[in-house]
Structure 1
Amino acid sequence: MLEATGLGKSYGGTVAVRDLTFTARPGRVTGFLGPNGAGKSTTMRLLLGLDTPDTGTALIEGRPYRQLDDPLRTVGALLDPAWRHPGRTARAHLRWLAAANGLPSRRADEVLALVGLSSVAGKRAGHFSLGMLQRLGIATALLGDPRVLLFDEPVNGLDPEGVHWVRGLLRTLAEQGRTVFVSSHLLPEMEQTAQDLVVIGRGRLIHEGTMAGFLAKAGPREVRVRTPDEAALRTALTERGVVFTEEPGVFHVSEMDSSAVGELAFTAGVTLHELTPLTGSLEQAYLELTGQDTEYPSGGAR
């Protein structure tokens, strides 16, 4: 489990994180979202003991990182895929880390196989592509078989097969009971991967909870209605001044929730075969709820 409580950090006169409180739980993939400059990288550094908070606490399984007895077996992290000695091979890089943390050297080859790098295990990491470095970084995070995992933009530089693989890996790790905390700007990918979300803006918490709860905050985009009584429903909606579009047998009603549409149809004596609220995508909800917290908004963003 990851826990941030009242977390605060400033650099000079710039506030990076302000009174931030959230929890990432075992058995779940928790997405960590926010505009550029929101404080995501600072938060992850505070969780991993790379920076010291000015206020509050950052705990991993109930303890600050620096107090963990066996940190690599407790938490694994990918913050910067370029972190490696360019002259070392992938296998040597991992074996060095394994030796420094009391892990068997065979673990290096096990995680290289897991991330698909066995064929280049003897290649110097300085010649790796960005996608290969990402895989090596993930292997490094998994080296100690930790119970908690933090990934910052883990699919950057990966091809579609690699992105699909990372998605499955994150889900599998969570299904094994691990805490998986992932920061990403790829919202459609996060929508397919995360069950929970922590969303911040300008260092403050905007949302903590389920993916469904975040989408609901932005409000339903429309309600899909299917009926054999098209003329009667069309009349009822028009008389009420409701905005809608239609295709044969199906209406898309805007600015009304499903309960209101159902009550309107009941009053008008209209038979319904379907009444489905359609929420917007994660991207739509994210842009709507974080628009005021964007550090460098494009024209028309506010």
Structure 2
Amino acid sequence: MIEATGLTKRYGPTLAVDDLSFSVSAGRVTGFLGPNGAGKSTTMRMMLGLDRPTAGDVRIGNRHYDELDHPLRTVGALLEAGWVHPNRSARNHLRWIARSNDIPDRRVDEVLGLVGLTSVAGKRAGGYSLGMQQRLGIAGALLGDPEVLLFDEPVNGLDPEGIHWIRELMHTLAGEGRTVFVSSHLLSEMAQTAQDLVVIGRGKLIYQGTTDDFVASATARTVRVRSPQLPELKQALTRREVSFDESDGALTVSGMDSDAVGELAFAAGVTLHELAPQRGSLEQAFMQLTGEAVEFHTGEPTPD
């Protein structure tokens, strides 16, 4: 479990993280979201003792990171995949890390196999593609078989197969009871990966809770209805003062759930060919709830 309390970080006059408090539970994949400049990377660096908080506290399993005897056995992290020495092989890079935490060499080959790098483990890391570097960084995070995992933009450079793989890996790790905390700008991917969210803007907490509740709180739920008796259905909805839009031979009904729409249609003697609840997307919810926290706004295109 991760617990941040009143976490604050100043760089001179710049307030990067502002009295931020949140918790990350074990057995769940928690997404860490926010606009550029929101303070996500700074927060993750403070978790790992790479930056010292100006105020507040962050603990991993009730301990500060610098209090851990063999930190890689408790916390695995991928913050920057490209920090490998270019002339060192992937295997030797991981062996070097393993020896610093008394991790046996056999674990190196285990994680190389897990991330799919066994066949290139003896090659110079400087010749790796971005996707291969990401896999090597993930191998380093897994090296100590840790209880807590922190990933910052883990799918950068990965192809669709690799993205599917890391998504399933994170679900597996959480299913084993581990704490998985992942930051990403790919909201469509986070919608499929994260069960919980911590959302920040300008260093402040905007939301903490489940992904479903975040989307539901910011976007309207509607119901799509198709019927060979649309005029009769529209009359029934109008009598109940229910709003709807019509397009492509279907109605999008607002203000009623699918059960209520189905019961209304049945009472009106209307046959339905489709009755499908619709919900907003994580991207829509994110844009709505973080709009005021965006540091850099793009301008509207100027007409010719």
TM-score by length of 1: 0.91
- Cross-structure match for 2:120: 120
Residue equivalent to 1:71: 71
Could you tell me whether the CA contact under 8 Å between 1:191 and 1:282 is conserved in 2? Answer: yes
Seen in structure 2, the aligned counterparts of structure 1 residues 233 and 138 have a Cα distance that, compared at 3 Å, is same
Provide structure 1 residue ranges, at least 5 long, that are not aligned to the other structure: none
For the residues of structure 1 that align with 2:22 and 2:275, how far apart are their CA atoms? Answer: 35
Structure 1 residue 258: Cα displacement? 2.3
TM score, norm. by length of structure 2: 0.91
**Match runs of 1:24-43 below 5 Å:** 24-43=24-43
Q: Indicate conservation of the 8 Å contact 1:225/1:272, yes or no.
A: no
Among the aligned pairs, what percent are the same residue?
Answer: 61
CA contact (8 A) 1:257 1:277 kept: no
User: Are the counterparts in 2 of residues 6 and 57 from structure 1 also a CA contact under 8 Å?
Assistant: yes
2:222 matches 1:242: no
Larger deviation, residues 264-273 vs 123-132: 264-273
Distance 1:50-1:220 versus aligned 2 partners, 3 A rule: same
Aligned-residue CA RMSD (Å):
2.4
Residues in 1 aligned to 2:156 and 2:13: alpha-carbon distance in whole angstroms:
31
Q: CA deviation at 1:105?
A: 1.0
Alpha-carbon offset, residue 222 of structure 1: 2.2
CA gap 1:78/1:113 in 2 versus in 1, 3 angstroms: same
Against the structure 1 CA distance between its residues 205 and 272, is the aligned structure 2 distance closer, same or farther, given a 3 Å change threshold? farther
Q: Which consecutive unaligned segments of at least 5 residues does structure 2 have?
A: none
CA contact (8 A) 2:153 2:183 kept: yes
Kept in 2: contact 1:184–1:190 (CA 8 A): yes
Letter of the 2:209 counterpart: G
Relative distance call for 1:205 and 1:300 in structure 2 (3 A) is: farther
**1:69 and 1:38 mapped to 2: Cα distance?**
32
Q: Distance in 1 between matches of 2:53 and 2:195?
A: 28
Tell me the secondary structure at the aligned position of residue 134 of structure 2. Answer: helix
2-side partners of 1:62 and 1:129: how far apart?
Answer: 38
Code of the residue aligned with 2:25 in structure 1: it is R
Mapped contact 1:34–1:200 kept (Cα < 8 A): yes
Aligned residues, how many? 299
Partner in structure 2 of residue 52 of structure 1: 52
Going from structure 1 to structure 2, the CA distance change for 1:216 and 1:300 (only over 3 Å counts) comes to farther
The aligned counterpart of 1:184 is: 184
2:290 corresponds to? 290
Aligned to 1:171: 171
- Amino acid in structure 2 at the alignment position of 1:258: D
**CA distance in structure 1 between the partners assigned to 2:162 and 2:177 by the alignment:** 23
Deviation digits for residues 31-72 of structure 1 (CA, Å, limit 9, x no counterpart) = 111100000000100111111111211110111111112211
* Mapped partners of 2:161, 2:259: distance in 1: 44
AA aligned to 1:123 is K
